[in-house]
Each structure stands twice: as structure tokens, then as C-alpha cells.
Amino acid sequence: MSVYAAPIQRLVSELSKLPGVGNRTAQRLAFHILRTSTEDADALAQAIHDVKQRIGLCEICCNLAEGPRCRICEDDRRDASVICVVEEPADVIALERTHEYRGRYHVLGGALSPIDGIDAEDLHIAELLRRVAVPESAVREIVLATNPTTTGEATALHIAEALHERAPQVSVTRLASGLPVGADLEYADEVTLGRAFAGRRAV
């Protein structure tokens, strides 16, 4: 039996579902929310509601977008001949912080992991192939920037093979060393990411 009132226990339970948030952290967050003003709590609730209602996937690159296309795909100053393939939207933010890259992106929505039931059909790989395999495509290079993990490497190899078969005219590169194996792009610092991007290699 919980020592907290039911609404508090429900809040703790919901907060503990967030990644990296254990029960103790969830309790601290819940009590922080209780101490804040009603206006601040309502603003948080409204922000969560708005992001679920208004944010979807870009029709071109599958990044998060408010509307049919994300801001990067709408930016005519970006180099449309280069596409950087990443696993998650957070990876786009990490790479943008380096200021090394001015091309477009493609977000896969994860990585291949058969043990977890994630196959190629569960990722946005088909959409990537459609972007580069059409005759009018201006894409000349695909940069594979999946995480330097076992699943990230497997995903990169799978995509490279598909691209060599479907779009042999397109150069396929992979981020260079500099990123620690087993780490996620989201947590890498700007210098490490920048050097890795500048030293990318052919696959």
C-alpha cells in the first residue's frame, strides 16, 4: 500500500516511465511539480499536450516536424546532394551543434536489432532508398552516421549494401573514428563529433 495519495502515486508512476528516470528521481520530480505554481504546472502539461498533438514526421527525411516538412528540408541553403543518415532525431541536434555539416538528413527511427524484433521494415530505410534511387535525384553522397554500436554498425552495413545495389552512382561514407565504441551520438561532445564527421570514410 502506497503512503502517497493516489494522484501523487500516479504522477510518480508516469514519470518513472521516462528513460533514465528511476522511482526515486520520479518522486523528486513529482514533489517539485507539487511545489511549483499552478501556472507552471499547467504550462508543463500544455507543452506535453502540444508536442503530442502538433509534432509529426517530416514527409521527406522523417525528422520531427511541425507540419509536412522539417525546418532543415525547407531550408534552400542546405546542400541537397548530401544526405546524413542518423538513427534518431536527437542525433540531428548533436550533429548540428558541430557546425561541420550543411547537407540534409534522413532519420531512420532506430537501428536494426533482430533480437528486439526491429527489422528493416520497421525503420525508414525504404524512404531513404526512394530519395536516392529516382532518376531525378541530385544526391551524390550518403553519410552513414548511425551510432558506433553493434546495432548501429549492422544498420550501416545493411544500408550500404542496399545503396550499392539500388543507387551505385551514389558515394556511401561512414563517420570516421573518434567516437567511442558503445556510445550514442547524443552524448558526444562537439569536438569529437566534428572530427569524426570531417574524417568520414568510404564504406
Span 174-196, mean pLDDT? 77
Average pLDDT, the chain: 91
Is the CB of residue 184 less than 8 Å from the CB of residue 162?
no
Instruction: Decide which of 130 and 195 is more confident.
Output: 130
* pLDDT of res. 166: 92
Per-residue pLDDT band for 23 (boundaries 50, 70, 90) equals very high
Q: Coil, helix or strand for 79?
A: strand
Per-residue pLDDT band for 177 (boundaries 50, 70, 90) equals low
Amino acid at 159: I
Q: Is it the case that residue 1 has pLDDT exceeding 80?
A: no
DSSP E strands: which ranges in 108-176? 141-144, 171-174
* pLDDT of res. 188: 80
Per-residue pLDDT band for 2 (boundaries 50, 70, 90) equals low
> What is the Cβ-side half-sphere exposure of residue 89, based on CA atoms within 13 angstroms?
12
For 62-110, the pLDDT digits (tens) are 999 999 999 999 999 999 999 999 999 999 999 999 899 999 999 999 9
Which domains are seen in the chain, by residue range? 6-54 (1.10.8.420), 76-202 (3.40.1360.10)
Q: Is it the case that residue 191 has pLDDT exceeding 80?
A: no
Amino acid at 179: L
pTM of the model: 0.80
Q: Is it the case that residue 176 has pLDDT exceeding 90?
A: no
Q: In the numeric block, which cell numbers belong to residue 168?
A: 551505385
For 110-150, the pLDDT digits (tens) are 999 989 899 999 999 999 999 998 877 889 999 999 998 88
For 147-167, the pLDDT digits (tens) are 988 899 999 999 999 999 999
